[in-house]
Every structure is written in C-alpha cells, then in structure tokens.
Amino acid sequence: MALKAQRIQIGDSIEEANEYLYANGMTDGLPVFPPTEDRVMRMCEGVSLDPDFEIALLPPEWSPATVEAIAINAVMAGCRPEHMPVLVTAVEAMACPEFVLLGVLASTGGYGVSVMLNGPIRKEIDLNCSNNLFGPGTMSNATIGRAIRLIQLNIGGVVPGVTDKSCHGWPGKYTLCWGENEEASPWVPYHVEKGFDPSDSTLTIFAAGSLCRIGAGWTTKGLGALQSLAYGMRPVGPMLQGLGNGARPLVVLGPETAKQIHKDGISKAEVREYFFVNARCRFEENYHPDSGETLSFDQMLKCSTNLWPDGTVSIADKADDIAVVVAGGPGRQSVFFPANARSTPVTLKIDPAIRAKIS
C-alpha cells in the first residue's frame, strides 16, 4: 500500500510539527497528532478501500477526498482506525447535493455539521449517547467530529474568515458527533423511521445551529413537557432559521422527557405535529422593516414559506420536517438545534464491506 501525499520534513518533535501545521492553516487551533506515514497507513487500514480511492469532491475548492486524505486528517484529530468507516460515510453524506455543504459552511450563521450515529456501530466504537454526549469526555465523539472539521478545512478549503463566513461560530464547529440513545428511547430509533433495519449502522448529518437547552422538570405530564419545549423553541427557531423557509430542525429529547411523553400515549408523530403547530412566533417578532411599516399578509408570505393565516411562523414548513430523536442521560433536559434553511439532512448506511477491518 503506497501513499501519495506530499512528504514534508519538519523536525523531530511534536511541538515543531504543530507549529508548522498551525502556521500553515492546517489545524483547528488545538494541538494535533503529526500525520506521519506510519500513522496514516495504519489509519487507512481501518477500511477495505485503497488509499487513493476517491470518496467525493468537497467544496469550496472541490478537492478530492481520498481515503488517504481522510486518514491524514483522522490522524491529526486523534482518531483510531475503527473510526474510518464513519469518516468515509460522513464525507459521502456531506457531498450529497441536498445537504448543500457549501451553503452550510460558508453561511454567516455559523452552522456546524452534526453527525448522529444509529445502530450497532455506536457500541463497536464506544460512542457516547448518554450523559454529556455533546460535551467532552469520550474519544469517539470528540475525535470523529474534530476530524470532520479538519477534513472540511484541509480538503475542502473551508477557511475561517475567508470561505467560512461565520459571524461568531460556536463550539459545535470544532466537533459534533454523537449517537441516539436507542436503548433509553420509548420509540423506534431514527434510522428505523427512515426505512433502515434496526441492525443497520447508519450515519445522519444535520446542518446544526447553536444548541438551545430546554428544561421541563416542573411538570409531571407529557403535554406539559411538550408545552415547555415548544415555548423554548418558539423564539429561536424562526429567528435563526430565516423565518423557517424549508428548515429541518432537530429536537433531541432527553430519555426521561421522552418516556414521560410516551407514557401519556403521545406518539413521536404527534410530538412533531405539536411542535409544528405550537412552536410559533409572530412574524414581526423576527422581521422588522426599516420603514417601520406593518406588512400585509401577502408581503409577509414573500419572506416566509411557513406563514400561518394569523401572521405567525413555525419552526418548519411541515411537521415531518422536524426530526425528533432521543439522546442524553437522566434529567429533564432536552436540546433544540435550529437548522440551515437550505440544507436537507442526509442518512446513509455505513457499508459493512468497508467496516470489514474493524476488530
């Protein structure tokens, strides 16, 4: 197995390598593992594909994301070879036209690429789906998400302040990889809803805005929890999503809240419908014409694709556009991720053939 990437002789120390890589804009600002030939070769062995096999072209430079190029960034991020099938699938998903990767990464809104895993692979790579799953502490969550950002930087050419136009950014742009807590969910998992078999391992990517944590610990009823959650989404959803306009937001229910809702006989479809109908705010709460005039319904309709007759807007165009999953640990907390209005989430099966070398 021969590698084709350019060799650069930097020095003998990790410090020298990091100084060089950082000075040349190849890191996310945190220290990295130098991608030596031995490390990259071992990383490539995590999949049954040739190092020069091209997975996709990534914007904005439309450079080829080969297995070798992905492995280089995986090494830098601190990944293990068993993470490679996830990274390869993530690159394939990001390149799907409906995800609109260029629009997601170049947006002033600062969206991050959220990677959710379902199925057996979660346990195979020791992915955290419970307490603190969006925070620090678990290698797979931290390094896989970080590698995906480095791939965007070093292969796609997404440079902060140049091609990444985020006004502020947020920590989810460093790393955002997690798994649905299927074992703690009262409903079928997300990938089964999408037509996959429970035994399939899948990856779903969302264009996620900064997360909004919403508590519902003061109610003992499922409907009460839904009311609290919808109220928490109401001000941030339409505002961050450009008054809806095709956005497909993500709601991550904590297991306790999900079980409380399910116990009261409320289905996941009814949860989505409740949020669609009730997580609404008035159009003028988010849109203020410079003239100060009151817009007519027809004028408002030109700005929003999910406008209701009473002049309010929802967090999505329709209920089925709202993704509802269960993740996290004990506690009455849930999370809402506003979404990029032009991006459609993508779910792909992690091909067992490329996972052949996981052991």
Which H or E run includes 282?
A: strand 280-282
Token pair belonging to 24: 């040349």
Q: In degrees rounded to 5, what are phi and psi of residue 14? A: -65, -35
Specify whether the CB–CB gap between 225 and 264 falls below 8 A: no
Spell out the alpha helix ranges (H) of the chain. 14-23, 37-44, 67-77, 84-94, 101-106, 121-124, 139-151, 190-193, 222-233, 237-240, 255-263, 268-278, 297-303
Buried b (16+ CB within 10 A) or exposed e, 238-249: bbbbbbbbbbbb
Total number of residues shown for the chain:
359
Token pair belonging to 338: 């506003």
Which H or E run includes 312?
A: strand 312-314
* Cα–Cα dist 142/178, whole Å: 9
Instruction: Write out the chain's pLDDT in tens, 359 residues.
Output: 677 767 777 777 899 999 999 999 999 999 999 999 999 999 999 999 999 999 999 999 999 999 999 999 999 999 999 999 999 999 999 999 999 999 999 888 889 999 999 999 999 999 999 999 999 999 999 999 999 999 999 999 999 889 888 889 889 999 999 999 999 999 999 999 999 999 999 999 999 988 889 988 788 899 999 999 999 887 665 455 555 566 889 999 999 999 999 999 999 999 999 999 999 887 777 776 676 677 777 776 777 777 778 888 888 889 999 999 999 999 999 999 988 878 999 999 999 988 754 44
Taking the CA atoms of 71, 77, 81 and 87 in sequence, report the sign of the dihedral they define: negative
